[in-house]
Amino acid sequence: MTEGEWTARVSFSDEPAAPGATPAGELVGPPLGTERAPIVRPVDLEEQIDADAAKVVRRLARSGFEAYLVGGCVRDLLLGKTPKDFDVATSARPDDVRRIFRNSRIIGRRFRLVHVLFGGNKVIETATFRRAPREGARPGDDLLIRNDNVFGEAYEDAERRDFTINGLFYDVERRCLLDWVGGLRDVEARAVRTIGDPTTRFLEDPVRMLRAIKFSARCDCGISPEVYDAVVACRGALAMAAKPRLFEEMLRLMRGGAAHRSMWLAWELGILDVLLPELSSHLSDCEDTVFWRLMTELDRHTAEVSAPVDDVTYWTTLLLEPMLEACAGEEDRMAAAADFLEPIIDRLNVPRRIADAVARIVSVLPRLERGQAGRFGRTPLGPLAQEVQRLSAASRGRAPSEPVVAGGPAAPVEPAAAPKKRRRRRPRSAAASPHDDG
């Protein structure tokens, strides 16, 4: 399909274009059954769009290809957030893109995409439209996607994406959004809804359950009731997901400045029972409120510091409370910390470097709290341990390095972080945010 043909197919209305309709030359639908027409909504995002990303899209279009901004950048712009990066999807094949941009390189072996490089280490990721590989799967089939490397059309590329709010395409040239998946409706409702049946989509790729939490927590969206129920039903499938992806996605839950909301949702949905049962049973047994205040402090810290927070700080903070419990009264705290971490390392593929650092920091924390950092304070881990100690102290309402009063009550830090009653595994409406803080 050439660009000219495509232009003629798009109607500038809020309604889905009827396939096959030909009103006044304004719209020509595709042959029936071959393609769905999008809702097209004029929106001017020109001012907020990265100039280099716009350049990539325009040059591809001038070369005769379809090209759009897609995914997280469109979602974030519509939700009033600053996008982390700008991704492009195009009908051009990787070799075409490479040919058009001298400042580019092809990456990936299984699925090849192109990085178009600009000054200041900016990368505009440019991917060829792909389609979902498993059309016509029968009930009872193993749904796990193992190969998603099939090129497709723009609408197929929208439909293969995970959530409707992530499936919107922005046409830079015509300044309009193309919506094949109901993303506009859900951006307005601030609802996380899968594209297609949630159970199917989660069994295809269980990591999407963690992504649902991430987008709900970060973008302040509700999880739609059917998605919520499907996560509860499918959460066990997370045990089948690739461990490095689980590790990375858990980190992303903490990195985005919404660790408190993310972990609350993960606990409430029963995901912590699968991925970090050590933490979830600690939370259930202790009615632990320090943990939640720690997450609030972590979010505050993430928002305040200019440099990215180290992954070691995130993992140590996440596991701190159950680890302190596991180490309490142990003569060899390092050995107790390492024993605690062993099954987690195995379950989530935690790199040894990170696990060793977490164990070390937790084991020396009481010394740090007594202001006795000693030589450890001058090791590379010293500053990270101090960072964790400050977060821990703040969550207990103490000044950093103030001596610990064993078993002493933890003073609330702020009203918003007050203890909450645990409510679990109950579907909630998309409109209701599960949190009033974080």
Which residues are at the interface with ligand ATP (CB under 6 A)? 71-72, 84, 87, 161-162, 166-167, 205, 207-208
Among the listed residues 50, 85, 220, 229, the single catalytic one is 85
The least distance separating Mg ion from the CB of residue 125, rounded to whole angstroms, comes to 8
- Nearer of residues 81 and 367 to ligand ATP, judged by Cβ: 81
What is the C-alpha to C-alpha distance for residues 354 and 96, in angstroms, rounded to an integer?
Answer: 40
- Nearer of residues 30 and 167 to Mg ion, judged by Cβ: 167
Residue 434, contacted partner among ligand ATP, Mg ion, none, CB below 5-8 A by kind: none
Does 83 help bind Mg ion (rule: CB under 5 A)?
A: no
- In SS3 terms, 175-216 reads as CEEEECCCHHHHHHHCEECECCCHHHHHHHCCHHHHHHHHHH
437 is catalytic: no
- In SS3 terms, 290-345 reads as HHHHHHHHHHHHHHHCCCCCCHHHHHHHHHHHHHHHHHCCCCCHHHHHHHHHHHHH
162 is catalytic: yes
Does 72 help bind Mg ion (rule: CB under 5 A)?
A: yes
| DSSP-assigned letters across all residues of 65-83 | --EEEETHHHHHHHTT---
- Nearer of residues 52 and 387 to ligand ATP, judged by Cβ: 52
What is the C-alpha to C-alpha distance for residues 121 and 2, in angstroms, rounded to an integer?
Answer: 33
Token readout for 174 is 């015509």
Residue 208, contacted partner among ligand ATP, Mg ion, none, CB below 5-8 A by kind: ligand ATP
Residue 125, contacted partner among Mg ion, ligand ATP, none, CB below 5-8 A by kind: none
Q: Cβ-closest residue to ligand ATP? A: 72
What is the C-alpha to C-alpha distance for residues 209 and 202, in angstroms, rounded to an integer?
Answer: 6
The least distance separating ligand ATP from the CB of residue 325, rounded to whole angstroms, comes to 32
Classified as helix, coil or strand, 363 is helix
The least distance separating ligand ATP from the CB of residue 262, rounded to whole angstroms, comes to 12
Q: How many CB atoms lie within 10 A of CB 242?
A: 12
The least distance separating ligand ATP from the CB of residue 38, rounded to whole angstroms, comes to 15
249: left (phi over 0), alpha (psi -120 to 50) or beta: alpha
Residue type, 154: A
- Nearer of residues 111 and 376 to Mg ion, judged by Cβ: 111
The least distance separating ligand ATP from the CB of residue 249, rounded to whole angstroms, comes to 9
Q: Which residues are catalytic?
A: 85, 87, 162
Q: Which positions lie near Mg ion, rule CB under 5 A? A: 72
